[in-house]
Amino acid sequence: MHLPPVIRPALLVALTSLLAVPTPTAPPARYIIYLHGRIIEDQGRRPTSPDFGTYEYDAILDTLRHAGFVVLSDQRPPKTNADSFATHVAAQVDSLLGVGVPARAITVVGFSKGGWIAILASARIRNPDISYVFLGACGAWAYEPTLHIIGRVLALVEASDSLGISCEPMFAHQAPGTRTREVRLHTGLRHGAFFRPDDAWLRPVIAWAGGREP
Protein backbone atom coordinates (compact mmCIF):
# COMPACT_ATOMS: atom_id res chain seq x y z
CA MET A 1 0.00 0.00 0.00
CA HIS A 2 1.34 3.45 -0.95
CA LEU A 3 0.62 6.27 1.48
CA PRO A 4 0.38 9.87 0.34
CA PRO A 5 3.57 11.79 1.15
CA VAL A 6 1.69 14.06 3.55
CA ILE A 7 0.59 11.05 5.68
CA ARG A 8 3.92 9.24 5.85
CA PRO A 9 5.63 11.73 8.26
CA ALA A 10 2.59 11.79 10.54
CA LEU A 11 2.50 7.98 10.68
CA LEU A 12 6.22 7.86 11.39
CA VAL A 13 5.81 10.29 14.28
CA ALA A 14 2.91 8.22 15.71
CA LEU A 15 4.91 4.97 15.51
CA THR A 16 7.93 6.62 17.07
CA SER A 17 5.81 7.92 19.94
CA LEU A 18 4.25 4.49 20.47
CA LEU A 19 7.64 2.78 20.60
CA ALA A 20 8.90 5.43 23.02
CA VAL A 21 6.18 4.68 25.60
CA PRO A 22 7.97 2.97 28.52
CA THR A 23 6.86 -0.56 29.26
CA PRO A 24 5.85 -1.42 32.83
CA THR A 25 8.90 -2.24 34.91
CA ALA A 26 9.31 -5.83 36.03
CA PRO A 27 8.92 -6.51 39.74
CA PRO A 28 12.25 -6.69 41.57
CA ALA A 29 13.86 -10.09 41.90
CA ARG A 30 13.34 -11.86 45.21
CA TYR A 31 16.40 -13.18 47.01
CA ILE A 32 16.83 -16.10 49.38
CA ILE A 33 19.97 -16.52 51.47
CA TYR A 34 19.94 -20.21 52.43
CA LEU A 35 21.99 -21.35 55.44
CA HIS A 36 22.53 -25.10 55.60
CA GLY A 37 22.78 -27.41 58.61
CA ARG A 38 26.02 -28.27 60.42
CA ILE A 39 26.32 -31.74 58.87
CA ILE A 40 27.58 -30.13 55.64
CA GLU A 41 30.38 -28.44 57.58
CA ASP A 42 31.37 -31.85 58.94
CA GLN A 43 30.89 -34.14 55.93
CA GLY A 44 30.78 -32.11 52.72
CA ARG A 45 28.17 -31.05 50.21
CA ARG A 46 26.02 -34.21 50.10
CA PRO A 47 26.36 -35.84 53.53
CA THR A 48 24.44 -38.79 54.89
CA SER A 49 23.24 -39.11 58.46
CA PRO A 50 22.57 -42.61 59.85
CA ASP A 51 19.48 -41.19 61.54
CA PHE A 52 18.08 -38.82 58.93
CA GLY A 53 19.37 -39.95 55.53
CA THR A 54 21.09 -37.91 52.83
CA TYR A 55 21.04 -34.13 52.99
CA GLU A 56 20.17 -33.00 49.46
CA TYR A 57 21.67 -29.52 49.72
CA ASP A 58 21.97 -28.80 45.97
CA ALA A 59 18.51 -30.20 45.25
CA ILE A 60 17.07 -27.79 47.83
CA LEU A 61 18.88 -24.84 46.23
CA ASP A 62 17.72 -25.88 42.76
CA THR A 63 14.11 -26.17 43.93
CA LEU A 64 14.20 -22.65 45.36
CA ARG A 65 15.72 -21.33 42.12
CA HIS A 66 13.07 -23.07 40.04
CA ALA A 67 10.47 -21.34 42.22
CA GLY A 68 11.77 -18.03 40.87
CA PHE A 69 14.22 -16.86 43.54
CA VAL A 70 17.80 -15.71 43.25
CA VAL A 71 19.48 -18.03 45.76
CA LEU A 72 22.68 -17.23 47.63
CA SER A 73 24.25 -19.96 49.73
CA ASP A 74 27.80 -20.36 51.03
CA GLN A 75 29.11 -23.79 51.96
CA ARG A 76 30.61 -23.13 55.39
CA PRO A 77 33.93 -24.67 56.42
CA PRO A 78 34.16 -27.05 59.41
CA LYS A 79 33.63 -25.58 62.86
CA THR A 80 32.38 -22.25 61.53
CA ASN A 81 31.72 -19.79 64.34
CA ALA A 82 27.99 -19.01 64.21
CA ASP A 83 28.41 -15.50 65.56
CA SER A 84 31.03 -14.58 62.96
CA PHE A 85 29.02 -16.06 60.11
CA ALA A 86 25.95 -14.12 61.23
CA THR A 87 28.04 -10.97 60.69
CA HIS A 88 28.83 -12.25 57.18
CA VAL A 89 25.12 -12.76 56.48
CA ALA A 90 24.36 -9.27 57.74
CA ALA A 91 26.99 -7.94 55.30
CA GLN A 92 25.34 -9.88 52.44
CA VAL A 93 21.99 -8.31 53.26
CA ASP A 94 23.58 -4.85 53.48
CA SER A 95 25.15 -5.40 50.03
CA LEU A 96 21.79 -6.31 48.51
CA LEU A 97 20.15 -3.28 50.09
CA GLY A 98 23.06 -1.15 48.86
CA VAL A 99 22.43 -2.06 45.21
CA GLY A 100 18.73 -1.25 45.51
CA VAL A 101 17.11 -4.57 46.38
CA PRO A 102 14.04 -3.77 48.53
CA ALA A 103 14.16 -5.17 52.05
CA ARG A 104 10.82 -6.91 51.48
CA ALA A 105 12.44 -8.89 48.62
CA ILE A 106 15.08 -10.50 50.87
CA THR A 107 14.53 -13.67 52.91
CA VAL A 108 17.09 -15.46 55.07
CA VAL A 109 16.30 -19.18 55.43
CA GLY A 110 18.28 -21.27 57.91
CA PHE A 111 18.12 -24.91 58.94
CA SER A 112 19.44 -26.24 62.27
CA LYS A 113 22.81 -24.50 62.88
CA GLY A 114 22.03 -22.39 59.82
CA GLY A 115 18.80 -21.40 61.55
CA TRP A 116 20.72 -20.31 64.64
CA ILE A 117 22.93 -18.18 62.36
CA ALA A 118 19.80 -16.70 60.76
CA ILE A 119 18.47 -15.82 64.22
CA LEU A 120 21.72 -14.09 65.16
CA ALA A 121 21.73 -12.27 61.81
CA SER A 122 18.21 -11.02 62.44
CA ALA A 123 19.29 -9.49 65.73
CA ARG A 124 22.19 -7.76 63.94
CA ILE A 125 20.42 -6.54 60.81
CA ARG A 126 17.56 -5.02 62.78
CA ASN A 127 15.34 -4.39 59.75
CA PRO A 128 11.66 -5.23 60.29
CA ASP A 129 11.06 -5.62 56.54
CA ILE A 130 13.57 -8.46 56.03
CA SER A 131 11.95 -11.91 56.09
CA TYR A 132 13.33 -14.99 57.87
CA VAL A 133 12.46 -18.66 57.99
CA PHE A 134 13.84 -20.77 60.85
CA LEU A 135 13.77 -24.51 60.09
CA GLY A 136 14.21 -26.81 63.09
CA ALA A 137 16.33 -24.01 64.50
CA CYS A 138 15.30 -23.30 68.07
CA GLY A 139 16.74 -25.01 71.14
CA ALA A 140 16.79 -24.41 74.86
CA TRP A 141 18.66 -21.15 74.26
CA ALA A 142 15.40 -19.78 72.77
CA TYR A 143 14.47 -18.93 76.36
CA GLU A 144 17.35 -16.41 76.54
CA PRO A 145 15.57 -13.10 77.28
CA THR A 146 18.35 -10.90 75.87
CA LEU A 147 18.00 -12.29 72.33
CA HIS A 148 15.71 -9.97 70.35
CA ILE A 149 14.93 -11.00 66.78
CA ILE A 150 13.73 -8.36 64.34
CA GLY A 151 11.91 -8.93 61.06
CA ARG A 152 9.10 -10.86 59.45
CA VAL A 153 9.69 -14.32 60.90
CA LEU A 154 8.31 -17.77 60.12
CA ALA A 155 9.38 -20.78 62.20
CA LEU A 156 8.74 -24.30 60.91
CA VAL A 157 8.84 -26.98 63.60
CA GLU A 158 8.57 -30.71 62.92
CA ALA A 159 6.46 -32.34 65.65
CA SER A 160 8.67 -35.46 65.77
CA ASP A 161 11.94 -33.48 65.96
CA SER A 162 13.77 -33.56 69.30
CA LEU A 163 16.55 -31.24 68.06
CA GLY A 164 14.44 -28.31 66.91
CA ILE A 165 11.79 -27.19 69.39
CA SER A 166 9.18 -24.42 69.31
CA CYS A 167 10.46 -20.88 68.80
CA GLU A 168 7.52 -19.41 70.74
CA PRO A 169 9.65 -18.70 73.86
CA MET A 170 11.94 -16.58 71.69
CA PHE A 171 8.98 -14.86 70.04
CA ALA A 172 7.79 -13.80 73.50
CA HIS A 173 10.60 -11.24 73.71
CA GLN A 174 10.86 -10.13 70.09
CA ALA A 175 11.76 -6.55 69.20
CA PRO A 176 9.03 -4.03 68.33
CA GLY A 177 7.91 -4.21 64.70
CA THR A 178 8.64 -7.93 64.43
CA ARG A 179 5.93 -10.18 62.97
CA THR A 180 6.11 -13.86 63.81
CA ARG A 181 4.33 -17.05 62.91
CA GLU A 182 5.04 -20.67 63.76
CA VAL A 183 3.81 -23.67 61.74
CA ARG A 184 4.05 -27.22 63.07
CA LEU A 185 4.71 -30.01 60.56
CA HIS A 186 3.81 -33.67 60.98
CA THR A 187 6.01 -35.65 58.60
CA GLY A 188 7.35 -38.09 61.20
CA LEU A 189 10.86 -37.55 59.79
CA ARG A 190 12.32 -35.79 62.86
CA HIS A 191 15.24 -33.45 62.02
CA GLY A 192 15.50 -35.13 58.62
CA ALA A 193 12.23 -33.47 57.57
CA PHE A 194 14.37 -30.60 56.24
CA PHE A 195 17.06 -32.75 54.60
CA ARG A 196 15.28 -32.98 51.24
CA PRO A 197 13.20 -30.64 49.04
CA ASP A 198 9.86 -31.76 50.43
CA ASP A 199 6.66 -29.81 49.78
CA ALA A 200 5.71 -30.03 53.46
CA TRP A 201 8.28 -27.36 54.34
CA LEU A 202 9.17 -25.87 50.97
CA ARG A 203 5.61 -24.74 50.21
CA PRO A 204 5.39 -22.47 53.30
CA VAL A 205 8.97 -21.24 52.74
CA ILE A 206 8.23 -20.25 49.14
CA ALA A 207 4.97 -18.56 50.17
CA TRP A 208 6.66 -16.61 52.97
CA ALA A 209 9.61 -15.56 50.81
CA GLY A 210 7.12 -14.46 48.16
CA GLY A 211 5.44 -12.13 50.64
CA ARG A 212 2.43 -14.36 51.24
CA GLU A 213 1.08 -16.29 54.19
CA PRO A 214 1.83 -20.05 54.13
| DSSP per-residue string spanning 129-194 | TSEEEEES-B-GGGG-TT----SEEEEEEETT-SSSB-SHHHHTTPPTT-EEEEEEE--S-GGGGG
Question: What is the Cα–Cα distance from 41 to 33, expressed in whole angstroms?
Answer: 17
Give 1-49 pLDDT, tens digit per residue: 444 444 344 434 333 433 444 444 556 699 999 999 999 999 999 999 9
Residues with Cβ within 8 Å of residue 48, at least 6 apart in sequence? 54, 55
pLDDT tens digits along 82-120: 999 999 999 999 999 999 999 999 999 999 999 999 999
pLDDT in tens, 174-209: 888 899 999 999 999 999 999 999 999 999 999 999
Handedness of CA 193, 32, 75, 141 (dihedral sign): negative
- Sorted by where each begins, the domain ranges of the chain are 27-209
What's the CATH fold of domain 27-209? Rossmann fold (3.40.50)
Q: What is the pLDDT of residues 127-171, one digit of tens each?
A: 999 999 999 999 877 777 788 899 999 999 999 999 998 999 889
pTM: predicted TM-score of the whole model, two decimal places: 0.86
Give Cα 97 to chain centroid, integer Å.
Answer: 15
